[in-house]
Structure 1
């Protein structure tokens, strides 16, 4: 291994290098040695989930997935690819914006004095290994929502600050992926510390790697690597462009914001309402849905109480509960609120769409409701109405 200082300079001069399986193993070791908690995909309980990794051997080598609306299955592959799978049931939101966060505790002393203590944000140094392009965009969206306004969330900020992001370009999209329609993938363009493209061909199993930050370059300098060759570059580019041509889903090629705005009274909403269970699965698996509520709990003595923040969903009947009842009592209005906000009025709040085309909501809907199908149906209905005399 070269001297780290000399290697860092070399990395700065050379934009791309090639890592072998030993380089991937070393990457996890180096990050853990630097005090990072490495989170990445692994096979567990019949799914590819995100969990803490002790080594690169825990990655889902040789595993892929079969996806369809309302259906998810892991399957064995005929090669040892580590990242040839689509989005699983979790997103990185689970670590940056956890499902439950304690906000404060209150205790009554023997003298009757009440002491309230704010919960200190968790201090953790994450390294996320295997972040897809769509999920990189999702993290940026969460950044704007959670820390970009007047009321920044310190719990999110603490987890997000300094998180080391290792992106992996998608080379095998799932049947429910539509990142091309949303302009979020499959290529990784920015917002990463390291970016990998997995290549498996006659030249072996390897990863084209480039750094996107000073820390990324420093980490890369500690790994066994070789200069990027033309064959690996070409194979990587072909794999990513091929993935873009094999998207399983697409959105209609129209202004989705205008489509949502102009179809609020469309008959299609009644059709989807007849199938929607209002379970909220789509909001739970969505990498950008961020809504929360609070709950207070106490012990039997009444001397200790806590306030917790937890995820909430606009599908919950009490999500918009006022003194006279819920604002959106029907499934039609609740589904319409979710979809029109996600790809329509999100622009008004945050300056971008709230959908990154990962397809999780399609896969994990118990009745197989597909937001791309609904968008196409709304577009057809609007087109037919405008064409009728």
Structure 2
């Protein structure tokens, strides 16, 4: 392109342009993470180029059900979100904090010194961008900053993708978090596939994104290109798999902590914590120490934990939440109600993962609807 475009402007690239985009990120020494096929699912992992993307694959999702399917076209991003979220890289499941080495009667504390690459994330959806923004608020937005999260978050390059396909458990429209990306990206792609014509409408979201786009074989987007991209997003918004009425939800849940629904859901909930593990915004952790058999070294690690585990709320007198009812209620009311008190917003982005990956198919949208329908007016 003859000159660098500005933020908010749009261009169009082809498959060769997307390959050049990934190559440009690698030249800049980014660790490239994107969607790829593994273990009969679409997951986020290291990729080398477009050949690693799940071209022609999609997914079918419902309560407690995920199935990889062949599409009838060559889309690269024709799927909804999978079991992983980007917190796997920004807030990893297991993290070494420090280790101690004994030397006779003394010991040394050795802080963990991670050599971290700069991440480039490809295929970040609108709901996931909102989830990253929520975790930014949790880990970076107050006086106490999580340095481990900040090291991973700083310098991350985000290539977002507007959704062309709504999963069976998606409800981002209800949560006002998608399917179109709004902020927090360097470049945003909308995949347009018409017959054999395969292209991407690219929106610029940062100066670095504009600089990288200027290196690619691209042309400025026309009104027809923008209309085609907008139609794709509008079609996705009109075909959400789920919906949730959020008006007054914070107060509704706060008024119904003793609702009979909690007993009903407790009979089905396995308290397995799957919903919190796949959730892109859950952030709870525990710290554990371990030493070797010779007591020469010890290590402290931080790992993901969940409000569904008995130990999570354990105090000297026992667990605060010793029933499935109390633990499910804590998770759901925190996510949709008391999160507002802590952070000024909902803790749910409508990605639907908690529904898809619940072994018994408990559906948070149905639980909200049941309370709303039965609650005293």
Normalised to the residue count of structure 1, the TM-score between the two structures is: 0.95
CA RMSD across the alignment: 1.2
- Cα distance between partner residues in 2 of 1:257 and 1:344: 4
> Quick check: 1:338 aligned with 2:334?
no
After superposition, give the CA deviation of every residue in 1:220-279 in whole Å (9 maximum; x if it has no partner): 111111121222211110110111111110112422111111111111111101000000
Gaps of 5+ in 2: none
Contact preservation (8 Å) 1:70, 1:368: yes
Distance change >3 Å, CA 14–CA 283, structure 1 → 2: closer
> Quick check: 1:146 aligned with 2:142?
no
Match of 2:303 in 1: 310
Secondary structure of residue in 2 paired with 1:274: helix
Contact preservation (8 Å) 2:265, 2:325: yes
> Quick check: 1:7 aligned with 2:33?
no
Aligned counterpart for 1:323 among listed residues 305, 316, 329: 316
> Quick check: 1:232 aligned with 2:225?
yes
- Cα distance between partner residues in 2 of 1:51 and 1:206: 24
- Cα distance between partner residues in 2 of 1:306 and 1:144: 29
Distance change >3 Å, CA 14–CA 334, structure 1 → 2: closer
| Ranges of 4+ aligned residues in structure 1 off by more than 2 Å | 120-123
Secondary structure of residue in 1 paired with 2:210: helix
- Cα distance between partner residues in 2 of 1:171 and 1:311: 32
Within-5 A mapping of 1:171-182: 171-182=164-175
> Quick check: 1:280 aligned with 2:276?
no
Within-5 A mapping of 1:1-389: 6-8=2-4, 11-12=5-6, 15-109=9-103, 111-202=104-195, 204-382=197-375, 385-386=376-377
Moved more, 251-260 or 232-241: 251-260
- Cα distance between partner residues in 2 of 1:100 and 1:149: 23
- Cα distance between partner residues in 2 of 1:370 and 1:117: 45
1:123 shift after superposition: 2.2
After superposition, give the CA deviation of every residue in 1:307-351 in whole Å (9 maximum; x if it has no partner): 000000000011110111100000000000000000100011111
Contact preservation (8 Å) 1:62, 1:80: yes
Secondary structure of residue in 2 paired with 1:51: strand
1:281 shift after superposition: 0.2
1:190 shift after superposition: 1.0
Secondary structure of residue in 1 paired with 2:6: helix
1:120 shift after superposition: 2.5
Q: How many residues are aligned here?
A: 377
1:7 shift after superposition: 3.1
Secondary structure of residue in 2 paired with 1:48: strand
1:86 shift after superposition: 0.5
Secondary structure of residue in 2 paired with 1:7: coil
Secondary structure of residue in 2 paired with 1:302: coil
- Cα distance between partner residues in 2 of 1:28 and 1:190: 21
- Cα distance between partner residues in 2 of 1:148 and 1:122: 24
Distance change >3 Å, CA 347–CA 13, structure 1 → 2: closer
Contact preservation (8 Å) 1:122, 1:155: no
Distance change >3 Å, CA 216–CA 13, structure 1 → 2: closer
Secondary structure of residue in 1 paired with 2:373: helix
- Cα distance between partner residues in 1 of 2:220 and 2:143: 46
Gaps of 5+ in 1: none
Moved more, 145-154 or 271-280: 145-154
Contact preservation (8 Å) 1:121, 1:158: no
Normalised to the residue count of structure 2, the TM-score between the two structures is: 0.98
Contact preservation (8 Å) 1:197, 1:209: yes
